[in-house]
Structure 1
Amino acid sequence: MRSADLAQKISNRVIREIAEGHYNAGDRLTTQSIADRYGVSRTPVRSALGLLADQGILGQVPNRGYFVSRTIPDGALTATNQDELTREYQSLAEDWIRDRIPEEMTELALRERYSWTKVRTQELLGRAQREGWAERKEGYGWRFLPVAKTPEAFDQIYRFRIANEPVAMLEPTFKIDFRKLAELREVQEKLVHADPATMPNETILQHGADFHESLVAMSGNPFFLIALERVNRMRRLMEYRARVDRGRLANECGEHLEILTLLEQERISEASARLRRHLEDARDRKAPNARAWAEG
């Protein structure tokens, strides 16, 4: 990869992380820390930070380095400015959801279909593998795994979650992890005040999945968590393509915070009931979106 392309890729990643709240206004970004985090040399990182400073996303202080600007220009972090890798990933995901590609394919077949390089193909398949809808076959090739592809499957998954998650909180082995609750509260409070236009759909959805899986993990019953993780992977791609109701992000996070407050007060049965209502509302709200996507 050319140095200029790598620098642009790094700058795009930093932009996403600022938009997602990993960095706050005034935070210092060092060349070495980013190089270590992304597994690259310092030279393209320096170029990337320079690009971000030119856009007003970062400020530079002589002899001190780069800091996240407190006055980032409007639109600089807009989620619609997706990098090419994300667009290509979503293209692959949509083709799988819509049955345009077979269950099993070789890397060569994918490269020929999409005109991808070998490195790009491996990057995209690696992401699909991490997100749970692709796996490497023994010996040769790749296999795409079952996902929710219809509004009916989408509804069934939510019905399962309504039956699963609130009950997990009532398990006799349920134990409140107050440290984890504090971490979840910090994330949700940031999201309440965030501009949803600056965050990719994937980030919004991942924060939601992390919240619910963290609560179920406290049940002490690993089978509840295994089941939830499985269905979350199966619904992930359809959630990506369905229209995210960004206007409701603050309200949804507010509901999450209500559940956290009840757990912090050790009112577990009330938290379970509130979680059930939260999931029922989400199902009713998202069902039309899922159907519109499937028919589009």
Structure 2
Amino acid sequence: MAKSQIDYSGAPPYLAVVDGRELPLRAMASSEQAPVALTPLQTRVTREILTLVRRDDLALGDRLAESVLAERIGTSRTPVNVALHHLVTLGVVYYDTNRGFFMAKSAREVTDVASQFFDEPEEPLYLKIAADRLARRLPDVVSEADLMRQYEVSRSALRRVLSLMQEEGWLERQVGHGWQFMPMIDSVEAYEESYLFRAAIEPTGILSPTFSANRVELEALKRRQQFIVDGGYLTMNSIELFEANSEFHETIAKWSGNRFIAQSVRRMDRLRRLVEYRQAKARKPRQGQALEHLAILEAIAGQDLLKAAALLRDHIEGARRAKVHAQEVFEA
């Protein structure tokens, strides 16, 4: 996409013509406002918005509806509103009082801003505990008191992280203040087992008699995967690439119409998230994965479900062979 050309001639005093479209001048001046500090929740929502913007490959002037963003992120409109106003101060978004929020530049031009939100982990304590568990430095059962001393954090901060891990299936609360770690992908053997499990159930979902692809979601997935192929993989960070991959697999599992397949795929994605983040940082991003995704989607669009299932099985098997040898992801 060529860089946008701004033309002020012939436009009203309060408008600029950008690529033939009239935009408020406040969009051009938004970066002059001083950014404010965000809470952890607002930071996460801002990161999610940037991920969606880049995944959808939005263009300059595209609208960002608060209600839609809140639904896709899974939060209320309040933190979304704060996050959007913060993006206004960073020059990514502009706000029109009567019409709402719009992109002040294309998604392909916000790489530098996005990197600010992905360079540092959203919750360092979460990563510390997870990394220590993967390295087997934490026992199967832990107490809140011991964890508070070990990581020098308050009980409220610790419980927030433990609750998140519980939601993702890593932990189970015991009687009293104890927590039990659940089986995790914490070894090369477990990592390979997870791929063998996925290779067994995901293609089966496509061949399920209740399988039905949502056309709107299908076109959206194709557009996002095409963006990665067209060069997005060069600028997207490991978190964005993993989430785009998860969305692809979880959406197809949902189309199966089988709640157990959909739940299993979603749970597997949660369990492998940390390992994938660490491994992705150690390898060069590739567009081959997105090309394989597109081939599977094309087969589904053409109603050739036998081919789609075979391609998906080959895709998962190929990923297993390529990744299970990277044992360094489990080293401390």
Q: TM-score, normalised by structure 2?
A: 0.70
Q: Write the distance in 2 (CA, Å) between the matches of 1:56 and 1:179.
A: 30
TM-aligned CA deviation for residue 270 of structure 1 = 0.8
Aligned mate of 1:208, from 237, 245, 248: 245
Contact 1:78 1:197 in 2 (8 A): no
- Measure how far apart 1:155 and its partner are: 1.5
Distance 2:240 2:110 in 1: 21
Q: Which amino acid aligns with 1:56?
A: G
| Alignment check: 8 A CA contact 2:206 2:309 kept | yes
3-state DSSP class of the match of 2:324?
helix
Deviation at 1:70, TM superposition (A): 0.9
**Residues 30-75 of structure 1, C-alpha deviations (whole Å, 9 max, x = no match):** 8999998364597xx39x835x445433446688776433165662
Matched, 1:21 2:56: no
Shift of 1:152: 1.8
Q: Match of 2:317? A: 280
- Counterpart CA distance in 1 for 2:200 and 2:69 is 43
Measured in 2, the distance between the counterparts of 1:32 and 1:261 equals 31
SS in 2 for 1:78: helix
Of all paired residues, the percent bearing the same amino acid is: 29
Alignment of structure 1 residues 196-275 onto 2, 5 Å? 196=233, 199-244=236-281, 245=283, 247-248=285-286, 250-275=287-312
Aligned pairs for 1:173-188 (under 5 A) are 173-188=210-225
Gaps of at least 5 residues in structure 2 are: 1-35
Moved more, 52-61 or 200-209: 52-61
Whether the 8 Å CA contact 1:19–1:198 is kept in 2: the answer is no
Q: Which one of the candidate residues 76, 83, 102 is aligned to 1:37?
A: 76
Give 1:271 shift.
0.8
Q: How many residue pairs get matched? A: 288
How many angstroms apart in 1 are the aligned matches of 2:44 and 2:254? 33
Query: Post-superposition shift, 1:186?
Result: 4.0
**AA paired with 2:92?**
I
Give structure 1 stretches of 5+ with no counterpart.
none
Q: Deviations over 1:162-200 (max 9, x none)?
A: 233223322344344434423433443444456446655
Contact persistence 1:155–1:283 (CA under 8 A): yes
Task: Work out whether residues 134 and 330 of structure 2, in 8 Å CA contact, stay in contact via their aligned partners in 1.
Answer: no
Q: Would the aligned equivalents of 1:216 and 1:225 in 2 still touch at CA under 8 Å? A: yes
| CA distance, structure 2, for counterparts of residue 258 and residue 106 of structure 1 | 48
Once the 2 structures are TM-superposed, how far is the Cα of residue 261 of structure 1 from its aligned partner?
1.2
Q: How much does 1:275 deviate?
A: 1.0
Amino acid across the alignment from 1:68: M
- 1:30 to 1:213, Cα distance in 2 relative to 1, 3 A: closer
Identify the residue that residue 168 of structure 2 maps to in structure 1: 131
Greater Cα radius of gyration, structure 1 or 2: 2
Shift of the alpha carbon at 1:144?
2.1
Is the CA contact 1:11–1:49 (under 8 Å) kept in the aligned structure 2? no
Counterpart amino acid of 1:134?
L
Indicate which of 153, 178, 189 corresponds to 1:152.
189
CA RMSD, aligned part only?
3.7
Match of 1:94 in 2: 131
- TM-score normalised by L of structure 1: 0.77
User: 2:170·2:271 contact (CA, 8 Å) conserved in 1?
Assistant: yes
**Aligned letter for 1:17?**
I
Residue of 103, 121, 137 corresponding to 1:68: 103
Q: Does the 8 Å CA contact 2:141/2:180 hold for their aligned counterparts?
A: yes
Give distance in 2, aligned partners of 1:80 and 1:191: 20
